[in-house]
Structure 1
Amino acid sequence: MALGGGAGLLAHGADAGTHSGTHAHADAPAAADATPSEGPAVELTAAASTDPIFAEVPRPSTRLRPAADPLPLPADAVVPASCDGYPEQAFRIGASAWGVRFLAQDGLRQDDGDGPAAGEPPAGPFPGCWGEELLGRFAALVTARAEHTATRAFFTRRAEAWEERFAHQTPAYEAAVARMRPAPGGLALDLGCGTGRAMPALRALVGPSGRVLGVDVTPAMLSAAARHGRGRDGHLLAADCTRLPLPGACVHGIFSAGHAALREWARVTAPDGELLLFHPSGRAERAARHGRPLDPGDLLAEPNLRPALETTGRRPAAYEDAATHFLARATRST
């Protein structure tokens, strides 16, 4: 993420040649002279709603000073923050490069209008809680992508033999899916589907008029799923299960044998939908297998999972952490 003047270097480094926005008119007020009560304000655009960094961030503070010079951007650049006259206040080039040009008013904090506290230096190029939110999101995205790279590397090496190696677990998956109650004709997801062992059972639940979607971040696992005929039970999608390319409230049942991204999954789940988390071994057995003690901070521990579900409007309808399996089923809070 490039900030301030660095954003211009980023745009030029991308061989920008086609401007994606409009220039200010000659008689327009200079944005650089804007104060919190006059001049153009920085606003989020419609593109921000689907941007990995800007989605769902609060509205920018009125103390943010727009950059006042036009900046040519590549034709395919995405602009999540703009202002009248100078639309390219923030931009994304490709999937991993962001530029943020607007600055805080000199000597003012972004999170209040009282100026710096006693002994505190004036605001720098990108200070305050709003800027820290963006930087924190960028750091989290980088971390998640690094984890995805490691995950893909791990499972790609094992994809070819995965189905045969764990075929004995298929009855356990079928029994777990049978605990779900998605509406017939609805949409069911198998998140972190691997070779899609839960997809036939999900297909049986939603019926011929329903839809099943198997989602995994490792293309090699999806290829293995296709070889084993799981495409007959539904569609296979390579995607990040923590950032699903789906509209809100469209899913009627989510099955996952992997990690939980409860807030994102609640976003896509219909009011009558439900979630089932399953693993064919219990938490204690898995910890012992990896030579570590049970982690009290584990999201799947019941004292942690219950309040986490409640914050998304769900409640646990079943919780089982046995030697032979882990299962948690959640439905809408009443």
Structure 2
Amino acid sequence: MPLPSEPASDAAAERTRTREFFAVRAADWERRFPDDGPRYQAAVTDLGLRPGQRVLDAGCGTGRALPPLRHAVGPSGTVLGLDLTPEMLQQAARAGRSGLAVLAVADCARLPLPDGALDAVFAAGLIAHLPGPLAALTELARVVRPGGRLALFHPVGRAALAARHGRALTPDDLRAEPNLRPLLAAAGWRLTSYLDTDERFLALADRPADRQ
């Protein structure tokens, strides 16, 4: 499939729609999905973080991944939680998670971080809401050091998520492995692991050391 791109004006409009979509759902977001915590924990474990590392939760929402991310990198590590929707970050703070990470409003396609600043990125449910997936994944690669890692996660798999929304899977689904692998490669990542079951979706990628 052709790699996805979108005119800047369309991307801006899509970012506005995404922000509005999540703003009105922020207050009861976690009550709608009360059983996802252990799946977040397992995905963070699979990311393989070490104490003292620097990790970004990209599109962190209400911050469900922040406790296991903080536990993984320990008190000497750095955890950033960035999201496009202020209301979601407010819920993260109300849940007491602002003490676990630096929280800030930011667009994943324009991150306020220098090149190679991070060891890893965790992104739950992010790719489906990106107006320009290639641009955003390339930006995530920019801020991760060579040898760093990326986790694209969702607490249910593609088929289960499609059924939840009353639709069928289509061949152009970005998260299908034949589509995701070349998309990640074009953005500077190498897909190393791919899991898609009813219980969870998890794609792990690394930032090849030979690509600066």
Please classify the TM superposition score into its range, dividing by the shorter chain length.
0.7 to 0.9
The separation in 2 between residues aligned to 1:269 and 1:220, in whole angstroms, is 27
Question: Paired residue for 1:159?
Answer: 26
| CA shift for structure 1 position 312 | 3.6
Question: Paired residue for 2:169?
Answer: 294
The separation in 2 between residues aligned to 1:145 and 1:248, in whole angstroms, is 24
Match of 2:121, SS state, is strand
Question: Paired residue for 1:217?
Answer: 84
The separation in 1 between residues aligned to 2:156 and 2:65, in whole angstroms, is 16
| CA shift for structure 1 position 251 | 1.0
Q: Which residue identity does 1:301 align to in structure 2?
A: A
The separation in 1 between residues aligned to 2:184 and 2:19, in whole angstroms, is 28
Question: Paired residue for 2:75?
Answer: 208
Q: Which moved more, 1:269-278 or 1:253-262?
A: 253-262
Matched, 1:190 2:65: no
Note the residue ranges of structure 2 that are not aligned, 5 or more in a row. Answer: 128-132
Match of 1:178, SS state, is helix
Note the residue ranges of structure 1 that are not aligned, 5 or more in a row. Answer: 1-136
8 Å CA contact 1:182–1:273 kept in 2: the answer is no
Question: Paired residue for 1:50?
Answer: none
Matched, 1:276 2:151: yes
Q: TM-score, normalised by structure 1?
A: 0.56
Question: Paired residue for 1:145?
Answer: 12
Match of 2:46, SS state, is coil
CA RMSD of aligned residues (A): 1.7
Which has the bigger relative contact order, CA under 8 A and spacing at least 6? 2
The separation in 2 between residues aligned to 1:226 and 1:283, in whole angstroms, is 30
Extract structure 1 runs of 4+ deviating beyond 3 A. Answer: none
| CA shift for structure 1 position 157 | 1.1
The separation in 2 between residues aligned to 1:264 and 1:332, in whole angstroms, is 12
The separation in 1 between residues aligned to 2:32 and 2:159, in whole angstroms, is 22
Q: Deviations over 1:259-292 (max 9, x none)?
A: 1532111111111210001101111121222232
- Count matched residues: 197
Question: Paired residue for 2:138?
Answer: 263
Q: TM-score, normalised by structure 2?
A: 0.86
Q: Pick one of 294, 302, 305 that aligns with 2:180.
A: 305
Match of 1:311, SS state, is helix
The separation in 1 between residues aligned to 2:185 and 2:20, in whole angstroms, is 34
Q: Which residue identity does 2:95 align to in structure 1?
A: H
8 Å CA contact 2:146–2:208 kept in 1: the answer is no
Instruction: Considering fraction of residues, name the structure with more helix.
Output: 2
| CA shift for structure 1 position 183 | 4.1
Q: Deviations over 1:156-178 (max 9, x none)?
A: 11111112332311111111111
Q: Which residue identity does 1:303 align to in structure 2?
A: P
Match of 2:35, SS state, is helix
Q: Which residue identity does 1:331 align to in structure 2?
A: D
Q: Which residue identity does 1:263 align to in structure 2?
A: T
The separation in 2 between residues aligned to 1:209 and 1:289, in whole angstroms, is 40
